[in-house]
Structure 1
Amino acid sequence: MDVSDETLARAAADGDRQAFAALVGRVYDRVYAYAYRVTGSKADAEDLAQDICAALPVKLKGWRGEARVTTWLYRITVNAARDRFRRQASFARAADGWGDWELARRAEAAETAERVDWLHAAMTALNRDLRETLALVLDGVSHGEAASILGISEGTVSWRISEAKKRLRAIRAAEAEETKA
């Protein structure tokens, strides 16, 4: 004997798990197909169909039986799709302007990375003493701590940092002249 969708829906609303599984088995493909036609996206259609089926036990308790179950499910699918479109539109409006911010953030990060890369490459042109001292200070070590680590006076650390800066500026200037030529 073939059981109607409506009979399965009533039984599922009363907590019959087998009736619920049978109902979902019957209607899932229709809900998915309709959601796909409405959204135009397989991923969105899958999400909608799964969300609807997950919410179906609670929704079935509100089904009054005035319409066929499939008609009622189409209405739920329409509403779910509309809700999804509204959320996507709200998200797009909220995200509007953040794209420019994100582009600026990425450009700044790229510029910082470029500077760091340049500094690492330029430091190879420094002699070992200047490079070691500068590396410590760039790592946040104070001049006093650097002096203790390197076994030199704090004044020597300060001189080395000053000298390293002069040489790095000279390297930058030479590179700028090369790009002009």
Structure 2
Amino acid sequence: MSATARSDPELVAAHRDGDRTAFDELVRRHGDRLWAVALRTLRHREDAADAVQEALVSAYRRIDGYRGEASVSAWLHRIVVNVCIDRIRRERVRPTVPWPERDVPARGPDPVHELTTRLAVGDALALLPIEQRVAVVLVDVQGYPVAEVAAILQVAPGTVKSRCARGRARLAVLLGHLREVGA
């Protein structure tokens, strides 16, 4: 059976049994989404890369502790989110820098307006409390279902919903000026 045909739990079991390619396949399968969460949470490419690397090293070392209570994806995301939260708590004050997204081409008739909007949203997200920011990034930016985010964050689905609602309300105030510009 090829590595790509195996399920995540099968890859975890294969890794535990000494298959050197199994963990690599998990990284290939989930790495892009882990990176996106880290980048949008930390807002710095270097910090996000370091966080993902630290999280994957941690997952690699602690894979024997994976009990299968949540999906492998949720387990990996939880590790990345924890690393990101730890980094934010260690470095509370960071200068604001543009939110790079060179892989996403500008859309619409006004790329300058779109870039300005993207930067404003990134700046507003950075002002949210970390719990709200992580919930909004996972649900609204990355598109994860609330139940999966609840598993990643190890909280009740209602907690995810309330964090998102509070975060969205705060973003609406912080980004209200964009409605006036676009009107």
Question: Could you say which structure has the larger radius of gyration?
Answer: 1
The structure richer in helix per residue is 1
Q: TM-score if structure 2 supplies the norm length?
A: 0.46
Relative contact order (C-alpha < 8 Å, sep 6+): which is higher?
2
The TM-score normalised by the length of structure 1 is 0.46
